[in-house]
Amino acid sequence: MKKIFYSFAAIALMGLGMTSCQKENTHQLPMSFNASIDRDGSNAKVELNNENYPEWENEDSIYIGYQGSTLGAIYSCLNNSIDCRITVFYYSSHQEPVGDLAYAIYPASIATVYDDQQSNEIVLPATQTSPDGRLTRLPMSSDARNFFPENIEYNINNSLDLVLPFQNICGVLRIHLQQNDVAISSITLSANEHLNGVYDLAYQNSKPVITESTTRTNAFSNTTTLNLITPQSIASGKDFYIYLPAGDYTNMQLTFTNSDGYICTKSCATLTVHRSEIIPVTISGNMDFVAPPLGDLPGLFSISSTQQVRFSRGNLQYTTTGTHTTALGSKPGTWRFAEHQYDIIGSDNSNRSETYTGWIDLFAWASSGYSSLPCNNPSYTGGDIAETNRDWGVFNAISNGGNQVGLWRTPKRHEMHYLLNTRTGASSKRGFGNIQLSDGENVNGLILLPDNWTLPEGCTFNFYSGNSNYRFSNNTYTIDQWELMENAGAVFLPAAGVCNTNTGVTGVVGTRGYYWSSTHDNYSVTNYYLYAWNLCFYENYMNYNNSTNRNSGSSVRLVIDNN
């Protein structure tokens, strides 16, 4: 086996096999060790060098965890050589991690704070990014407990060289494409099994095993996307690599997006993915690229006496990973609509930051990425954002919503008023309800019915008339029943809560919903630059005329004009 080594040099004094003392991080760690990649299986490939052996990359980062401690260290390669020097940065500036080395995770971005070394959590992202389709961040781990001797004391003059072997956590799908005059910009996989989310990491005979976390809800998705920094030509044949959790996959579909934003969808046979193996898939036959689906729902809703709109398939979501097209060219991050109308991110919105790689769905006003990043407070203090680049749908291409700039927009305040109160039969086409998910959880929300409405057989609907006894439970649907309602045109706005973007705390998830309009609050000269209008609802209350601080993280549900 060939091993490519990193040499680690850290900058803090600690003991192995004994509890370390608290001190400032100013001392050099009196030990060094190497990180190797085990080729566990004939097809265990990560980033490949010219000899087809695993190799680390420049700026790779590794998270080192400690038994019995929530503190850890991140090591980062500082040069391009095979034997890289690594510098350690502790999460805490006040004390060193306490306890023995327990485990190591690569890349550091997928690591979370662990409770112990036996059952660790990692986060497999929904978007993988590559410059040219190669594997650049295949997840790996190492069970450090089995490679560091016990009861060894160190002082400032002692050091010990040890090898810490890393093993692959996932399997790899290698997709081979060939088609004249086509450049691929992204590949999206969907399947019957979860392809990303929060997983528990354990070790069996020092080999990593991941299983879905049993403590997280709404933490998984059945899709994953490989985004390419530059579209790649497949005229002479090209391989693309996507890592997947081990498991049996059926009903897998692969959606290829070309450089013009058009898509081609292919079905894939049943696949069994094993950890540390490459599964080859060849797409044969002609690839016909067509305009992508818009991601709109079938119901038409009047927003004025002459204009109707359709709602998007779900609330707007964003991640810092990947790239997307904007009105000003390519930008970092990925926008998408939630897979279902009832999908919400919930408390994980509290993790929002420029480096957080998970999805968020609560946004400060005008944070389209034009002048304010979606994960930050807005810097915009002007007027309406309608028909401007500060509108999320105007500025950004939505990956599963046509993937083109300018297709979508945020409703205006007066349009919300017309839809809820003025259109024909408005008072009988709004109500509260909940949808019962397969895991036993319920999602509460506001239900809107389209202009032309026929109640599906087997379903009921009780509209909200202002009765003080009205509850979310007045309309309760199974997933199958809601599918009938949705196919008939009904829209569901889930009570996704609100995020205080100053403190980062997300609250009232499941009990309240706040949905931005594109209209600023011009009630007075002292308010217009601080507030904007949104639709607010909770049990037995609904108000389209709600003025909220622009820094509040609220939901965004985009619409598309029915031209």
pLDDT score, position 217 = 54
**SS3 of 297-359:** CCCCEECCCCCEEEEECCCEEEEEEEEEEECCEEEEEEEEECCCCCCCCHHHHHHCCCCCCCC
pLDDT score, position 408 = 97
- C-alpha–C-alpha distance, residues 36 and 168, integer Å: 12
Residue carrying the six token digits 């649907």:
477
pLDDT score, position 187 = 93
- Three-state DSSP class for residue 100: coil
pLDDT score, position 308 = 95
- C-alpha–C-alpha distance, residues 8 and 104, integer Å: 13
pTM exceeding 0.75: no
CA 274, 277, 280: angle at the middle one, nearest 5?
105
Q: What is the DSSP string of 214-272?
A: SS-SS-EESEEEEEEEEEEE-TT-EEEEEEE-SEEE-SEEEEEEETTS-EEEEEE--EE
Q: How many residues does the chain have?
A: 563
pLDDT score, position 456 = 94
Q: Give how far Cα 360 sits from Cα of 223, 345, 513, 553, Å.
A: 16, 6, 15, 10
86-126 pLDDT tens trace? 444 444 333 444 455 567 788 877 887 544 443 468 888 87
- C-alpha–C-alpha distance, residues 550 and 528, integer Å: 10
- C-alpha–C-alpha distance, residues 118 and 105, integer Å: 14
Residues contacting residue 155 through CB under 8 Å, at least 6 positions apart? 30
Q: Give how far Cα 116 sits from Cα of 69, 97, 100, 102, 152, Å.
A: 7, 13, 11, 8, 22
Q: How many CA atoms lie within 13 A of 242 on its CB side?
A: 25
- C-alpha–C-alpha distance, residues 399 and 273, integer Å: 26
CA 518, 521, 525: angle at the middle one, nearest 5?
140
pLDDT score, position 366 = 94
Q: Are 16 and 42 in contact (CB under 8 A)?
A: no
Residue type (1 letter), 307: Q
Q: Within 10 A of 441 (CB to CB), how many other CB atoms are there?
A: 13
pLDDT score, position 69 = 53
297-308 pLDDT tens trace? 999 999 999 999
pLDDT score, position 43 = 39
**SS3 of 184-218:** EEEEEEECCCCCEEEEEEEEECCEEEEEECCCCCC
Query: Which parts of the chain register pLDDT below 70?
Result: 1-60, 65-102, 113-120, 144-164, 215-220, 501, 523-529
- C-alpha–C-alpha distance, residues 457 and 194, integer Å: 32
- C-alpha–C-alpha distance, residues 387 and 561, integer Å: 12
- C-alpha–C-alpha distance, residues 118 and 84, integer Å: 29
Long-range contacts made by residues 276-279, C-beta under 8 angstroms, separation at least 24? 276/40, 276/41, 276/43, 276/44, 276/167, 276/168, 276/171, 277/41, 277/43, 277/44, 277/171, 277/172, 278/43, 278/45, 278/171, 278/172, 278/173, 278/174, 278/241, 279/171, 279/172, 279/173, 279/174
pLDDT score, position 364 = 94
Residues contacting residue 223 through CB under 8 Å, at least 6 positions apart? 126, 188, 189, 190, 195, 196, 339
Q: Are 63 and 108 in contact (CB under 8 A)?
A: yes
Pull the structure tokens for residue 12: 């803090």
Q: What is the DSSP letter of 92?
A: -
- C-alpha–C-alpha distance, residues 77 and 55, integer Å: 13
